[in-house]
Structure 1
Amino acid sequence: MSTTLSVNTESPSSLDADAVVVGYHSGGDAPEPASGAHSVDAAFTGGLGSTLSLLGASGAPEEVHTIASLGAVTAPIVVAVGLGPAPTDGAVDPDVLSRAAGAALRALSSRPEGAGRVALALPATTADQAGAVALGAELGTYSFDRYRTGEKAEKKAARPSATLTVVSGADGAADAVERAAVLAEAVSFTRDLVNTAPADLVPEDLASAAQEIAQQAELEIEVLDERALSEGGYGGLTGVGQGSANPPRLVRLAYTHPEATRTVAFVGKGITFDSGGLSLKPAGGMDSMKSDMSGAASVLAAMRAISTLGLKVNAVGYLTVAENMPSGTAQRPSDVLSIYGGKTVEVLNTDAEGRLVMADGLVRAHEDQPDLIVDIATLTGAQLVALGTRVFAVMSNDDTVRDEVVAAATAEGEASWPMPLPGELRAGLDSSVADIANVAGERWGGMLSAGVFLQEFIEEGTKWAHLDIAGPSFNQGGPHGYTPKGGTGAGTRTLVRIAEDYARKQ
């Protein structure tokens, strides 16, 4: 991400910038200036709110209007972004600020000259608000241009990097903005991996990317290739990967802090492309399946962020990486696999492959004796049916852990919802020939039965949470807030926040 971030306490009306971003609330006869916008509003004859009203602005969330300042303020352009109704306590929610900043920067970044130097005068009277503004703004500048060619792409590549200044006098604002920059870099890295064409990110490529990150972030790394996986008894990864010309990998990353007393383990699903295997997906459902490695990408990015932030916690990340393809060597419905540790699984549907590779990773993660295991996966289409495209599910074998993970996601502005693991669903996974089947006999509650399946590979007494991010990981609609079309980076910030929470529990 080619941006620079800073904090400034000067009046936004006099800052030397190419554009100044201010917030407006809905309500009344005209949009009302939010905290931070008053000096800019007052610089316009009759107030900027009156001009916005003439343009049809209402102050609705993420509504963006760009206006020439004509010398009223130092910046030649004023970007007014809606924040919705003014809160009764005067404290604008940080997530509202992040999305508003993202919408404003998406608008500015779409100009031929790019965003340029931007002063962000959104409400930032607390460090959390300042960090939220910085995070949204950085994420709003994101674009994936790896495959763009021609004159337009060349001009875009030649643009100077965006310079973002958060206007805030809050105590701790500088630290919050610095943290936001680390998180934004992590989310953008996740997005880059998810958006990469599957031919350019086969399992070996993702493992190589992990090796590069490990070197940069000084992480310990272990990569098991197909031979090591077969000899080690990783039947889930071996079975799913055997139909592809690109063999599977298991990647283990570790971050150790000398003063840490707690360990968290993250396990990410890394299916670099999911055709469904012999249980082939319909053509219309396959074009977004490059995103089936979003969980592994989030774990990799979170591990780098944890190291960069120097958190006082031990963290281990597992990437369970394979490509699910149909071929003469592919696993068949009714095959029986032996998962790492020995439990057997009857494969009734080869398109329910994620839970198979995740089972290997979950069992292996116990060897690190973590205080908590969190897995993250684009696991089920049923997640979209239950919660839609913007909310991921959180399941756990411990209600307190589940609530803590939901709280971590909420604190990071990531929409999640607690879901149960009904015990009666386990009977639907009974197999006549193996310890368990990979899918239930009926289609109802598919998201929950997938979680029940994973729970089978968690030892008694081990705290565990499961994040199903199938919908939120890949935006197939239009961009909104700081979220682009394509890979979103969903879950990355939540993993980092979980690690921060455990660092505070020392």
Structure 2
Amino acid sequence: MLNVRAKYEDVLRVEGPLVLFTFEDDASREWAVVDKALRGFLAGAKRSGEFSGKKEEVLLLHRPGVKASHLLVAGLGKKKECSLEVVRRACATAVKRLSAAHLERASIAPPEVENVNEEEVVFAVAEAASLALYRFEKYKTEKKKEKRLTSLTVLSKEAGAVKRARIVAEAVYLMRDLQNTPGADMGPAELARVAKRVAKTCGFSCTVWGKREIEKKKMGGLLAVNKGSSREPRFVVMKYVPKGAKRTLCLVGKGVTFDTGGVQVKPGDYMNDMQMDMSGAALVIAALQAVAKLRLNVAVIGVMGLTDNLMGNTPYLPGDVVKTMSGKTIEIGHTDAEGRVTLADSLYYASTLKPDLIVDFATLTGACMVALGMHASGVFGTDQQAVEALLRAGERTHDLLWQLPLFDEYSEDVKGVVGDVSNIGSADRYGGACTAAAFLKEFVGGSPWVHVDMSSAILKKEKHYKPKGGSGEPLRAVLSFLQERVTF
């Protein structure tokens, strides 16, 4: 990962590559200083149309005439429209351009953004620069040996912001790595080992139950989905409980390490990314790592039921009735609606811990992707204050979230005929994200609860500082939500 540090230095004293930002309709302070030293060269480039300052536009100069060996100017668009997300995207464009030019180190002058303090801007710059250069190359046998950007100095005294940005970026890298690892190499046992390793490294507890313990706990939902697999399930409980913490938040993650759809098998094109159906669990593990490193004064418990959904000799079948840990029975209407069946046990177990809030994360429905695309994740919940706080965190980080309805009518739609509830709604394919959320609501035991349907967790193409494949979303929003010390 990119090594980012904070050190204040005058832009005219920087000797290596230097990155500046400026606006389309105004000159930034750093632009003006460097332009004066260059006797109006940058202003001339604007007048000639060589560079306009529009969003994500860059101009790279070699031996520009100041101490810096290279000067890269990145556009921020119109000054009044500049936001932290505009800065993140410009920063991502800049560091990618430097890396493509085989420059190994650089300095970057954080811009001034109206109504935003320097600490927030520095955090955004350091975070975006790190996230933009992510690569998943674990399985590449011939790694490219070209030089890349490896070191970045942010010209600021806000070292704390850079440190926090690194912790967040490390967590996002972890989540992305877990998402992108093939299902053959990241099954229930392997993912549980990652959780144990993270807990040991960060100094908090992690308990892993095998199949025998899961059977003793009567987690029939998790066991049912696991019936078609030769790999045994795991149930993971991670606990970060700092001294003096007055609130407890429980994060629950869907952990289906590969999803074929079961006997009602997915069409081929829909199976290509199904090693990422454990993105909810990956988020929970990465979030616990960041929470511990940030030393947040809130108790956070991570809960994950881990299995794959395969088609072995004795898979669970449509029409089966499954008894869950809560005692409620689930009528299986479709074997590809397996995530909610496993979450039934995870959510109920979380409710027995009596937390102040439960938030679950799951790549749960295609219906949510149809509704929102891949740019936002859907949010449902019984605690409107927590929902709104999470939505605000999504706006701050641009890990976008959008609230969807949880009307009582959706609960009517998931009532079973031969079981208590059905794992698919009676309205067929209509409102699928809403009926899935209503199903989950049946198992939270009255606890304050929020559900996130992670439709933005997997991207089909790269965008700015988010790569194709596992995006790591909406982890940054979750961490921002926690750092704001929301009253649950």
Report the CA distance shift for 1:209/1:428 in structure 2 as closer, same or farther (over 3 A).
same
Report the CA distance shift for 1:284/1:53 in structure 2 as closer, same or farther (over 3 A).
farther
2:173 to 188, 192, 196: 188
Is 2:116 aligned against 1:142? no
Q: Which residue of 2 aligns with 1:97?
A: 87
Q: Whole-Å Cα distance in 1 between the matches of residues 148 and 88 of structure 2?
A: 23
The letter of the residue matching 1:475 is: L
User: Displacement, 1:363?
Assistant: 0.6
Retained in 1: the 8 A contact 2:363–2:453?
yes
Is 2:458 aligned against 1:474? yes
Is 2:484 aligned against 1:498? no
Q: Deviations over 1:361-382 (max 9, x none)?
A: 1111112221111111111111
Matched residue SS, 1:23: strand
Q: Whole-Å Cα distance in 2 between the matches of residues 333 and 120 of structure 1?
A: 58
- Gaps of at least 5 residues in structure 1 are none
Q: Which residue of 2 aligns with 1:327?
A: 312
Report the CA distance shift for 1:202/1:260 in structure 2 as closer, same or farther (over 3 A).
same
Q: Which residue of 2 aligns with 1:15?
A: 14
Paired residues, number: 483
User: Displacement, 1:500?
Assistant: 2.3
1:211 to 189, 196, 213: 196
Q: Deviations over 1:73-107 (max 9, x none)?
A: 3332222223221117xxx4222212221222223
Report the CA distance shift for 1:350/1:13 in structure 2 as closer, same or farther (over 3 A).
farther
Q: Whole-Å Cα distance in 2 between the matches of residues 439 and 497 of structure 1?
A: 33
User: Displacement, 1:439?
Assistant: 0.5
1:444 to 396, 406, 430: 430
Is 2:393 aligned against 1:408? yes
Retained in 1: the 8 A contact 2:99–2:149?
no
Retained in 2: the 8 A contact 1:263–1:315?
yes
Q: Whole-Å Cα distance in 2 between the matches of residues 476 and 54 of structure 1?
A: 38
Q: Whole-Å Cα distance in 2 between the matches of residues 56 and 327 of structure 1?
A: 62
Is 2:62 aligned against 1:62? no
User: Displacement, 1:419?
Assistant: 1.6
Q: Deviations over 1:399-451 (max 9, x none)?
A: 22211111122222311112211211122212110000000122111111111
Q: Whole-Å Cα distance in 1 between the matches of residues 410 and 288 of structure 2?
A: 34
Q: Which residue of 1 aligns with 2:122?
A: 130
The letter of the residue matching 2:476 is: R
Q: Whole-Å Cα distance in 2 between the matches of residues 295 and 198 of structure 1?
A: 15
Retained in 2: the 8 A contact 1:101–1:136?
yes
- List aligned pairs for 1:196-275, cutoff 5 A: 196-275=181-260
Is 2:108 aligned against 1:110? no
User: Displacement, 1:35?
Assistant: 4.5
Retained in 2: the 8 A contact 1:236–1:337?
yes
Is 2:368 aligned against 1:383? yes
Matched residue SS, 1:87: helix
Q: Whole-Å Cα distance in 2 between the matches of residues 94 and 189 of structure 1?
A: 24
Q: Whole-Å Cα distance in 2 between the matches of residues 43 and 83 of structure 1?
A: 22
Is 2:164 aligned against 1:164? no
Q: Deviations over 1:273-313 (max 9, x none)?
A: 11111111110111111111111111101101111111111
User: Displacement, 1:59?
Assistant: 3.1
Matched residue SS, 1:221: strand
The letter of the residue matching 1:97 is: V
Q: Whole-Å Cα distance in 2 between the matches of residues 55 and 162 of structure 1?
A: 32
Retained in 1: the 8 A contact 2:230–2:312?
no
Q: Deviations over 1:34-58 (max 9, x none)?
A: 3543323434443325426656544
Retained in 2: the 8 A contact 1:37–1:122?
no
Matched residue SS, 1:119: strand
1:487 to 470, 480, 485: 470
Matched residue SS, 1:374: strand
Report the CA distance shift for 1:272/1:253 in structure 2 as closer, same or farther (over 3 A).
same
Q: Which residue of 1 aligns with 2:108?
A: 120
The letter of the residue matching 1:104 is: A
Report the CA distance shift for 1:76/1:55 in structure 2 as closer, same or farther (over 3 A).
farther
Q: Whole-Å Cα distance in 1 between the matches of residues 467 and 43 of structure 2?
A: 29
The letter of the residue matching 1:429 is: V
Q: Which residue of 2 aligns with 1:453?
A: 439
Retained in 2: the 8 A contact 1:33–1:41?
no
The letter of the residue matching 1:488 is: S
Q: Whole-Å Cα distance in 1 between the matches of residues 168 and 39 of structure 2?
A: 40
Retained in 1: the 8 A contact 2:98–2:149?
no
Report the CA distance shift for 1:168/1:38 in structure 2 as closer, same or farther (over 3 A).
farther
Q: Which residue of 2 aligns with 1:51?
A: 45
Q: Which residue of 2 aligns with 1:73?
A: 66
Q: Which residue of 2 aligns with 1:26?
A: 24
User: Displacement, 1:178?
Assistant: 1.1
User: Displacement, 1:161?
Assistant: 7.0
Report the CA distance shift for 1:122/1:348 in structure 2 as closer, same or farther (over 3 A).
same
Q: Whole-Å Cα distance in 2 between the matches of residues 365 and 24 of structure 1?
A: 49
The letter of the residue matching 1:106 is: K
Retained in 1: the 8 A contact 2:254–2:281?
yes
Q: Which residue of 2 aligns with 1:175?
A: 160
The letter of the residue matching 2:23 is: H
Q: Which residue of 1 aligns with 2:4?
A: 5
The letter of the residue matching 2:18 is: V
User: Displacement, 1:117?
Assistant: 1.4
Retained in 1: the 8 A contact 2:64–2:70?
no
Q: Whole-Å Cα distance in 2 between the matches of residues 475 and 85 of structure 1?
A: 29
2:344 to 348, 359, 375: 359
Q: Whole-Å Cα distance in 1 between the matches of residues 203 and 481 of structure 2?
A: 21
The letter of the residue matching 2:123 is: G
**TM-score under structure 1 normalisation?**
0.91
Q: Whole-Å Cα distance in 1 between the matches of residues 235 and 126 of structure 2?
A: 35
Retained in 2: the 8 A contact 1:275–1:286?
yes
Q: Whole-Å Cα distance in 1 between the matches of residues 63 and 232 of structure 2?
A: 61
The letter of the residue matching 1:476 is: K
Matched residue SS, 1:68: strand
1:428 to 413, 418, 432: 413
Q: Whole-Å Cα distance in 2 between the matches of residues 416 and 73 of structure 1?
A: 44
Q: Which residue of 2 aligns with 1:419?
A: 404
Q: Deviations over 1:133-177 (max 9, x none)?
A: 111011112111111122xx1525xx58711111235xxx22112
Q: Whole-Å Cα distance in 1 between the matches of residues 472 and 482 of structure 2?
A: 17
Retained in 2: the 8 A contact 1:278–1:330?
yes
Matched residue SS, 1:199: coil
**TM-score under structure 2 normalisation?**
0.94
CA RMSD of aligned residues (A): 2.0
